[in-house]
């Protein structure tokens, strides 16, 4: 398979009116010299090179010398992209089992396998980043690339996160394949797969919103039954009285007051409360006094 960028570019004739170099020849300048780099309108005809800012003319074409048409490459020399299959596996915690994903990906015939143990809540996922970087490199060489994952939630749960991945795949012309789940099968993000992917991404976001709403509803129900939501209370009557005196009589700051107080019960026994705890304690006291 031909992977040299200049041969990929020269498989096309240059569409620039000032060049019109035929297929098989490098681009030329208006002065009749071999151009130092291929014209943008020409190398963008190659999908793998569309993201490049420029593609240099190689030394074998003698850039700067007098331009002459070269024999066009035979049709058999036009590169036929091979497929590279990259597998990605992920679990959220170290205790979760990942081997079943790895086995399924290997059975699906992936050429390279990337895996990591990291939550989708983490912004930077090193192996996911490495997978996409490798996919772009193979595409730049003219290969057809498919990213294979076990199921959609291995890529991410939030709509914005999933759509970001889909956008990267679309821009790099990388296909996506799910082995299981509602999206099982191969999908081209640049075609109908884009709309389907966006739909299930929105469904994932709706599911997360539902879980969050049910959690808040459960907390409200617990509060109504008198249960404490949040951390264990560290203040007591003596601590409150001391804090009020230090504020009103000695005019100390919240940090200074916190440094004078000591927690007497619980896991934090013997430690100083935070300035935020002191502020909350004094605010609740002032509210009760006002009532």
- Tell me whether strands 83-91 and 144-149 are parallel, antiparallel or unpaired: parallel
Residues in the chain: 291
Distant-in-sequence, close-in-space partners of 40: CB < 8 Å, separation ≥ 6: 54
Q: Which of 13, 17, 65, 92 is catalytic?
A: 92
Residues 237 and 253: their CA atoms lie apart, in Å, by: 20
Complete DSSP assignment for 27-91: -B-TTSBB-SB--HHHHTTSGGGTT-S--BPPGGG-TTSBP---PPPPGGGS--PPEEEEEEEEE
Instruction: Please check whether residue 24 is in contact with residue 49, taking contact to mean a CB–CB distance below 8 angstroms.
Output: no
Catalytic site residue 92?
Answer: yes
| Catalytically annotated residues | 92
């Amino acid at each position: 398979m031909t992977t040299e960028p200049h041969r990929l570019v020269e498989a096309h004739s240059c569409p620039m009116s000032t060049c019109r170099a035929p297929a098989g020849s490098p681009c030329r300048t208006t002065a009749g010299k071999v151009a130092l780099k291929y014209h943008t309108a020409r190398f963008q005809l190659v999908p793998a090179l569309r993201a490049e800012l420029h593609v240099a003319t190689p030394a074998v074409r003698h850039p700067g010398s007098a331009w002459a048409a070269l024999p066009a490459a035979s049709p058999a020399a036009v590169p036929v992209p091979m497929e590279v299959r990259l597998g990605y596996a992920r679990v959220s915690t170290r205790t979760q089992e990942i081997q079943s994903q790895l086995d399924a990906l290997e059975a699906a015939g992936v050429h390279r396998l990337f895996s990591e143990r990291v939550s989708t809540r983490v912004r930077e996922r090193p192996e996911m980043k490495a997978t996409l970087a490798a996919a772009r490199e193979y595409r730049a060489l003219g290969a057809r690339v498919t990213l294979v994952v076990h199921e959609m939630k291995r890529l991410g749960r939030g709509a914005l996160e999933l759509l970001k991945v889909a956008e990267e795949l679309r821009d790099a012309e990388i296909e996506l394949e799910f082995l299981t789940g509602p999206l099982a099968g191969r999908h081209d993000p640049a075609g109908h797969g884009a709309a389907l992917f966006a739909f299930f991404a929105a469904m994932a976001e709706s599911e997360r919103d539902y879980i969050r709403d049910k959690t808040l509803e459960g907390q409200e129900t617990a509060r109504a039954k008198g249960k404490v939501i949040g951390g264990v209370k560290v203040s007591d009557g003596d601590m409150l009285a001391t804090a009020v005196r230090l504020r009103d009589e000695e005019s100390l700051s919240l940090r200074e007051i916190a440094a004078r107080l000591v927690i007497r019960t619980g896991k934090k026994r013997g430690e100083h409360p935070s300035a935020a705890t002191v502020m909350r304690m004094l605010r609740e006291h002032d509210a009760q006094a006002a009532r």
